[in-house]
Amino acid sequence: MDFETVDTQVRALSESLHGADEATIAAEVDRLKNLAALIPDDLWRARALARAERLPELITGPTAGTSEQFERAVQLQGEAMSAQGSPQERMAVAEAAIRAIAELADQAPAREAGTILRMNSSLARLIEDLRLEDQTG
């Protein structure tokens, strides 16, 4: 048994088990953990076990944030994505939002911090697009 086998099964199940009941998902997690336990290498076994335990989240997606910081970060991201003006003005708005969102992630409950911080990836892509537009426009 190896990590790739467990990982492949986790990916396939994350697609095929949408809408499945909790008992079915729990049974698959147990089965995958039993497979992972057969991996001889300690590090790869631990990774496979962690991957198997993430199956429920992979099926349903991450839970939406509920904290004040999460709500504010969503608002900042939306404002930056829909900002009007020149590419330079829009980049400045997006850069300010990135800084503010990073601060919000630091203040947020641990369970939401990573989700909040990942909001910055779409803003970073926006800034890249705006830089290209500014250079070619």
Per residue in 28-53, pLDDT tens?
999 999 999 999 999 999 999 999 99
Placement of tokens 């990573």 in the chain: 114
Placement of tokens 């990774």 in the chain: 47
One domain, residues 73 and 132: yes
The number of domains in the chain is 2
Q: How far, rounded to the nearest angstrom, does the alpha carbon of residue 46 sit from its chain's CA centroid?
A: 21
One domain, residues 80 and 117: yes
In tens, the pLDDT along 86-118 reads: 999 999 999 999 999 999 999 999 888 888 998
Q: Which domain holds residue 51?
A: 3-60
Residue 69 and residue 116 in contact, taking contact as beta carbons nearer than 8 Å: yes
Quote the CA–CA distance of 85 and 127 in Å, as a whole number. Answer: 13
One domain, residues 49 and 75: no
Structural domain ending residue among the three candidates 12, 42, 60: 60
- pLDDT averaged over the chain? 92
Q: What is the structure's pLDDT at 63?
A: 63
Quote the CA–CA distance of 28 and 50 in Å, as a whole number. Answer: 14
Structural domain ending residue among the three candidates 40, 60, 80: 60
DSSP class of residue 137?
A: -
Q: What is the structure's pLDDT at 62?
A: 61
One domain, residues 86 and 124: yes
Nearest to 119 by CA among 58, 59, 64: 64
Q: What is the pTM of this model?
A: 0.56
One domain, residues 13 and 56: yes
One domain, residues 75 and 132: yes
* Confidence class for position 64, pLDDT limits 50, 70, 90: low
